[in-house]
């Protein structure tokens, strides 16, 4: 997978050299069980893209469409985007939504859904207000997010293929937990699309 010139792992999104990947995945992802079938990203979480994501998290505006279109372009470069039945935004806790007055992943999902003609299904909800993931290791993050999502009552997801939409991934713990939750609800294949992949030492 390549976007904005940089090669990356098709499961966790981290930068890789061409010889580090086998079947599109890095050594780390080959060793551990990643519950995703694939991941696409716009770029690394640095420089201009990082600033755009920061703006986007806190302000609604034309930047939603810009980042959404970049995500659409990244998705269109994958062999799997035609298999998708729906897009699922990572939910924001209601407290954060009130605080910000903006739901970034929903805004992204709407742009992607309308460009790819896919329904946006908000089938995930947060079960609690997590403590921030900043400064935690991957095992700590996995522990921190465990059980923090649930599928909304009445959602029919058996056998479908979905793409989870998030703005930034660092260790992938949040995406892994959403995938685990969706899998339990019967979803057949779970892909993910993010704007940016951060290094584990970065915030966000
Ligand atoms: Zn990887």
The per-residue pLDDT for range 71-108, each reduced to its tens digit, is 999 999 999 999 999 999 999 876 676 677 788 899 99
Beta bridge partners of 161: 189
Residue 102 structure tokens = 């903006």
Dist. CA 95 → ligand 1 center (Å): 32
Confidence (pTM): 0.89
Compute, in angstroms, the gap from residue 37 CA to the centroid of ligand 1.
Answer: 12
CA 149 / ligand 1 centre spacing (Å): 23
Tens of pLDDT, residues 5-39? 578 999 999 999 878 888 888 988 888 888 899 99
Centre of ligand 1 from the C-alpha of residue 197, in Å: 11
Domains and CATH numbers, the chain: 2-197 (3.40.50.2020)
Measured in Å, how far apart are the chain's first and last C-alpha atoms? 23
Tens-digit pLDDT profile for residues 44-66: 999 999 999 988 887 767 888 99
Is residue 36 within 8 A of residue 11, CB to CB? The reply is: yes
> Within 13 A of 201's CA, how many CA atoms are on the CB side?
1
Cα of 101 to ligand 1 centre, how many Å? 34
| Token pair of 135 as six digits | 């400064």
């Amino acid at each position: 997978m390549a976007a904005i010139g940089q090669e990356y792992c098709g499961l966790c999104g981290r930068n890789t050299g061409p010889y580090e990947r086998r079947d599109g995945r890095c050594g780390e992802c080959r060793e551990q069980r990643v519950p995703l079938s694939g991941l696409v990203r716009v770029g690394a979480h640095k420089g201009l893209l990082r600033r755009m994501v920061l703006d986007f998290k806190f302000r609604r505006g034309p930047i939603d469409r810009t980042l959404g279109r970049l995500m659409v372009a990244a998705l269109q470069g994958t062999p799997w985007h035609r298999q998708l039945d729906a897009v699922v935004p990572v939910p924001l806790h209601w407290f954060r939504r009130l605080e910000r007055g903006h739901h970034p992943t929903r805004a992204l999902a709407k742009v992607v859904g309308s460009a790819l003609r896919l329904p946006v299904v908000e089938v995930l909800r947060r079960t609690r207000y997590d403590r921030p993931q900043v400064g935690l290791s991957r095992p700590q993050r996995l522990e921190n997010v465990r059980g923090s999502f649930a599928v909304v009552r009445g959602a029919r997801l058996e056998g479908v293929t979905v793409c989870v939409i998030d703005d930034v991934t660092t260790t992938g713990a949040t995406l892994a937990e959403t995938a685990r939750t969706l899998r339990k609800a019967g979803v057949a294949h779970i892909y993910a699309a993010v704007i940016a992949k951060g290094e584990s030492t970065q915030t966000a």
